[in-house]
Structure 1
Amino acid sequence: MRILLSNDDGVHSPGLQALHDGLQGLGHLEVVAPDRDHSGASNALTLSRPLTVEDHPNGFRSVDGTPTDCVHLAVNGLFDEPFDRVVSGINTHANLGDDIIYSGTVAAATEGRNLGLPAIAVSLVNEGRFHYETAARVVRALLESDQPLTLGPRCILNVNVPDVPWEEIAGFRVTRLGHRDRAEGAVPMTCPRGKARYWIGAAGKGSDAGPGTDFNAVRENYVSITPVHVDMTRHEALSPLREWVELLAGREGR
């Protein structure tokens, strides 16, 4: 099995190293990750300039681009042999609920899936203890399963792991995405040259975070596993929208 590892925290992230260490022996591992932190990059793809790839002494490769760039280059040009799957992480912080809209970690996984590969995004629900080895062990358990899993096209697994020792993990739960409250306000500041600057405010707390959600699972020390579909169509809205547009078209004589 050939596994591509990537992330959004950068090639020097301890979570990426822990993932690489934790998957030893499962197959051939290759690492292609951004040369710096690209948290919040979402699915950005660099089209305005060529990308540079750098080899590192530990065998990792870095790209001066986004997480999506890294997976795209790795699958579509850097290697002669094809990969069997993509694993993105271990992200330094949670990717729960609405976080996945912005997450470069999830984006790296979805890029792998868009290119036809099964993919997992894994994040540590960080509380300052940095139990990356627990998250790595979770991923290993998922990859070692003898039972094949078919999720359908353009679907990935979004995995969030509580920041506790392996022995304190209560189990695994299949969850849906919860939702956060509105983000906190932007934080104004003044640069040394006297110009106004702003920090993006902190993410909101979980507003839809009850039983069945990813928020609830990790709060109870369960690993949250959420199937995420890249199709963003709101299918149940198609029928009422179609009726509304037909009325509008009739009014306009179309």
Structure 2
Amino acid sequence: MRILITNDDGIHAPGLIACEKIARTMSDDVWIVAPETDQSGVSHSLSLNDPLRLREIDDRRFAVKGTPTDCVIMGMRHILKDVPDLVISGVNRGRNAAEDVLYSGTVAGAMEAVLLGVPAFALSQAYTFTTKHAPRWETAIAHAPGIIDKVLKEGMPKNVLVNVNFPDCEPDEVEGIGVSMQGKRNQDLLRIEARHDGRGNPYFWIAFARGAQMDASPGSDLAALDGKRIAVTPLRLDLTDEPFMTRLAEVLG
């Protein structure tokens, strides 16, 4: 099985090393095409106005000066001689749950693979304030291979990727798997932090309020992570709201 790995934290991210360890439990034919620099939060952006610079780091290991989407396209359309059998994006530093999936470059890398016809998983390792500088990569490494193997054997529908979030706990403390719906976070978490540079000019950061609580509805990815379970969420590429589409057809048709 040929596996292509990407991420959004960059070619030097420790989560990419974790992802490679996961992939090598399933295959020796592993290729890595990751962004040259951190691309967190770029979502499904595509570089159209800037050239893509490709750097070969080692055998089957490449860095692209671009987004995760660029990396998957470069990997599948230029670097690999054959289409991969599987794409794994991650392991992201921090969870990609609830609305995070809309911003996540990790999820977008898997999404692009699915658009190109290849099964894909997005993997993320949650952390808290106390583990921020040392996420528990071993939890993802221990549990991801079994999940990926079972899902692949079951068969994945077209136009669907699988988003997997690992809880912030040791591998043997995981309480099971929660096949979950995408949750919804408290939008009051987002705030604008205003600062001034050395010349007194204002600048701003988009930030999250410290200590704020997340709404974790039962059955959601957030609730699974709170319960030390691995959150497994299938995500469809088709964003159409069919019930409202039917109503609009009645109103506008």
TM-score, scaled relative to structure 1: 0.91
How do 1:1-254 and structure 2 match up within 5 A?
1-27=1-27, 28-57=29-58, 59-127=60-128, 128=131, 129-145=134-150, 148-182=153-187, 183-202=189-208, 205-207=213-215, 209-246=216-253
RMSD value, Cα: 1.7
When residues 197 and 181 of structure 1 are mapped into structure 2, their CA distance, relative to the original with a 3 A threshold, is same
Amino acid at match of 1:226: T
Which stretch shows the higher mean deviation, 180-189 or 141-150?
141-150
| Pairwise CA distance, 1:201 | 2.2
| Pairwise CA distance, 1:25 | 4.2
| Pairwise CA distance, 1:126 | 1.1
When residues 121 and 146 of structure 1 are mapped into structure 2, their CA distance, relative to the original with a 3 A threshold, is closer
Distance in 2 of aligned mates of 1:133 and 1:19: 10
Identical-residue share of aligned pairs (%): 33
Distance in 2 of aligned mates of 1:13 and 1:58: 18
- 1:178, 1:206 within 8 Å by CA — same for their partners in 2? no
TM-score, scaled relative to structure 2: 0.91
The 3-state SS of whatever aligns with 2:207 is: coil
Could you list the structure 1 runs, at least 4 aligned residues long, displaced by more than 6 angstroms after superposition: none
Distance in 2 of aligned mates of 1:195 and 1:146: 52
Which stretch shows the higher mean deviation, 84-93 or 135-144?
135-144
Structure 1 residue runs of 5 or longer lacking an equivalent are: 247-254
The 3-state SS of whatever aligns with 1:40 is: coil
| Pairwise CA distance, 1:156 | 0.4
| Pairwise CA distance, 1:206 | 2.8
Distance in 1 of aligned mates of 2:231 and 2:7: 19
Distance in 1 of aligned mates of 2:108 and 2:151: 27
Distance in 2 of aligned mates of 1:63 and 1:216: 36
Distance in 1 of aligned mates of 2:23 and 2:252: 52
Matching residue of 1:249: none
- 1:90, 1:136 within 8 Å by CA — same for their partners in 2? no
- 1:22, 1:133 within 8 Å by CA — same for their partners in 2? no
Matching residue of 1:252: none
Distance in 2 of aligned mates of 1:25 and 1:125: 22
Say how many residue pairs are matched.
Answer: 245
Distance in 2 of aligned mates of 1:87 and 1:143: 10
Distance in 2 of aligned mates of 1:51 and 1:111: 17
Amino acid at match of 2:97: L
Distance in 2 of aligned mates of 1:3 and 1:205: 38
- 1:19, 1:89 within 8 Å by CA — same for their partners in 2? yes
When residues 25 and 214 of structure 1 are mapped into structure 2, their CA distance, relative to the original with a 3 A threshold, is closer
The 3-state SS of whatever aligns with 2:24 is: coil
Structure 2 residue runs of 5 or longer lacking an equivalent are: none
Amino acid at match of 1:187: E
Distance in 2 of aligned mates of 1:211 and 1:153: 28
Distance in 1 of aligned mates of 2:238 and 2:203: 36
- 2:3, 2:23 within 8 Å by CA — same for their partners in 1? no
